[in-house]
Amino acid sequence: MNARLKYALAVAAVALATQANAQAVFYEQDNFQGRSFTTDRPIDNFRRNGFNDQAASVEVLGERWEVCEDRRFRGRCVVLRPGRYPSLAAMGLDKRISSVRAVPRNVRIDEWRYAPVPVVAQVTFYEREDFRGRSFTTDRPVLNFERHGFNDRAWSAEVLGERWEVCEDPRLSGRCAVLQPGRYPSLAEIGLNDGVSSARDMSGNAPTPGADYRRRDNERLYQAQVTSVRAVVGTPEQRCWIEREQVAQEQRSSNVPGAIAGAIIGGILGHQVGGGSGKDLATVGGAVAGAAVGAQVGRGGSAQPASTQDVQRCENVPSQAKPQFWDVSYNFRGQEYRVQLTAPPGPTVTVNAQGEPRN
């Protein structure tokens, strides 16, 4: 075998390996939930696979993929970089994809054809409030913070991309709370200050509460044994009210010219009364009284009454009274499943042949 043929075969092998690594997984619900369809080769018409106009989220592995709203790669098309896309609605292709294909590495794509880069699910914990002090960042589930030297140290947190569940005990046990993407300057508001021992993102390993669990096409149903149930509280709620508050009025300064004039007039009038030392006392008294009257006239003749106004006040109230959802584990045909329900389950949950929950 000559060198040129060996080189050609090697290039072909690399190309085949690259293509084999390129894979796309489509889901019929947001956040990688519901029925899924996986492909590692071009699909020019999803109808043949029973998934036409069904995809709502997608995971792209290995290589870039082009997704199109019409069959045979026509209509509006978008190129997806490797990553996780929890909602195709963000690019206007929710339930509209009809054909897909991997994009080889040597093909140049104009930047405007790419979908926005997916946001990585990530959380950063800080050992002091207001995001100060030593920090610990993760984009993967952590079952025990002790291994990272950060057990029971978190006082504030920043959440990116997806919701994160944080729990006070290892292995996602004990009291837990779900943090929406955002900034949490104090975990004390949800009762988890200095008490986080495990955490996980909620993007792919647990269904969204309130997902569509209705029975489909008279599918056969089974009862699966519940193995554990945990009530998960939400983030703090803000309670606001209106209070009537007294507002101090600005006091006008005393009328100095009025006080002087009043003192002179009062002194003259006082001098006309009495005689001897009594006349002197009357003069002084008249001057003092006249000054007070003159100053009061300068302020309008009466004291200004205090006024009131409505003031809104708010406080964060931990949502401990009612769980946001129930995190349920159950065993079906020897495999462990997890689901989030909006109501506590009984000793069993209803599932289909694939172990998916059903009402």
Give mean pLDDT, residues 317-336.
71
The per-residue pLDDT for range 104-128, each reduced to its tens digit, is 988 999 888 998 877 677 899 999 9
In a domain, 293, yes or no: no
Alpha-carbon torsion 328, 89, 121, 101, what sign? positive
Within this chain, do residues 100 and 29 fall inside the same structural domain, yes or no?
yes
Asked whether residue 319 carries a pLDDT value surpassing 60, the answer given is no
Distance CA 194, CA 187 (A): 8
What's the pLDDT tens digit per position in 20-66? Answer: 468 899 999 887 778 889 999 999 999 988 899 999 999 888 889 99
Q: Do residues 128 and 102 both lie within one domain?
A: no
Would residue 288 count as lying in a domain? no
Does some domain include residue 247? Answer: no
> Encoding tokens for residue 117?
């880069």
Per-position DSSP letters for 211-249, written without gaps between them:
------TT---EEEEEEEEEEEE-SPEEEEEEEEEEEPP
Q: Work out the angle at residue 107's Cα, subtended by the Cα atoms of residues 106 and 111, and round it to the nearest 5 degrees.
A: 125
Query: Which of 178, 204, 230 delimits the end of a domain?
Result: 204
Indicate the range of 118-132, 247-261, 317-331 predicted with least confidence.
247-261
DSSP 253: P
Q: Could you tell me the strand order of the sheet in which 132-138 lies?
A: 132-138, 122-128, 156-160, 182-184
Number of structural domains the chain divides into: 3
Q: Is residue 274 part of a domain?
A: no
Residues 333 and 213 in one domain: yes
Task: Give the separation between CA 281 and CA 18, rounded to whole angstroms.
Answer: 113
Question: Which of 66-70, 78-82, 263-267 is most confident?
Answer: 66-70
Sign of CA dihedral 293, 299, 302, 303: negative
What per-residue confidence (pLDDT) applies to 91? 84
In a domain, 7, yes or no: yes
Q: Are residues 107 and 11 in the same domain?
A: yes
DSSP string, 197-213: -EEEESSSSSPPTT---
The whole-angstrom distance between residue 94's C-alpha and the CA centroid of its chain comes to 22
**CA–CA gap between residue 136 and residue 145 (Å, rounded):** 10
211 lies in the same domain as 349: yes
Question: At a CB cut-off of 8 Å and minimum separation 6, what does 78 contact?
Answer: 66, 67, 68, 91, 93, 113, 114, 115
What is the pLDDT confidence band of residue 331, given thresholds at 50, 70 and 90? confident
CA atoms within 13 A on the CB side of 332: 20
Q: Is 44 left (phi over 0), alpha (psi -120 to 50) or beta?
A: alpha
Mean pLDDT to the nearest integer, 239-254: 56
pLDDT digits (tens, 9 = 90+) for 270-280: 444 444 444 44
CATH number of domain containing 25: 2.60.20.10
User: Is residue 23 situated within a structural domain?
Assistant: yes
Question: In b/e form, how buried is each residue of 51-82, taking b as 16+ CB within 10 angstroms?
Answer: bbebbbbbbbeebbbbbbbebebeeebbbbbe
Average pLDDT on 96-106 reads 93
Q: Are residues 36 and 131 in the same domain?
A: no
Least confident interval from 120-129, 145-154, 241-250, 329-338: 241-250
**Could you tell me the pLDDT band of residue 291, with boundaries at 50, 70 and 90?**
very low
In this structure, are 175 and 95 located in the same domain? no
Mean pLDDT in residue range 337-341: 77
Q: Print the domain residue range for 335.
A: 206-239+315-359
80 closest CA partner among 67, 93, 62: 67
- 91, 113, 135: which is the final residue of a domain? 113
> For residue 1, what are the contacts with CB-CB under 8 A and spacing of at least 6?
none
pLDDT at 72 over 50: yes
What is the model's pLDDT at position 18? 40
Let me know whether 223 and 326 are in one domain. yes
Domain boundary among 113, 136, 153: 113
How many Å apart are CA 24 and CA 256, to the nearest integer?
A: 86
What ranges in the chain are assigned the alpha helix state H? 3-21, 256-271, 277-298
**Same domain for 77 and 13?**
yes
Task: Please check whether residue 143 lies inside any domain of the structure.
Answer: yes
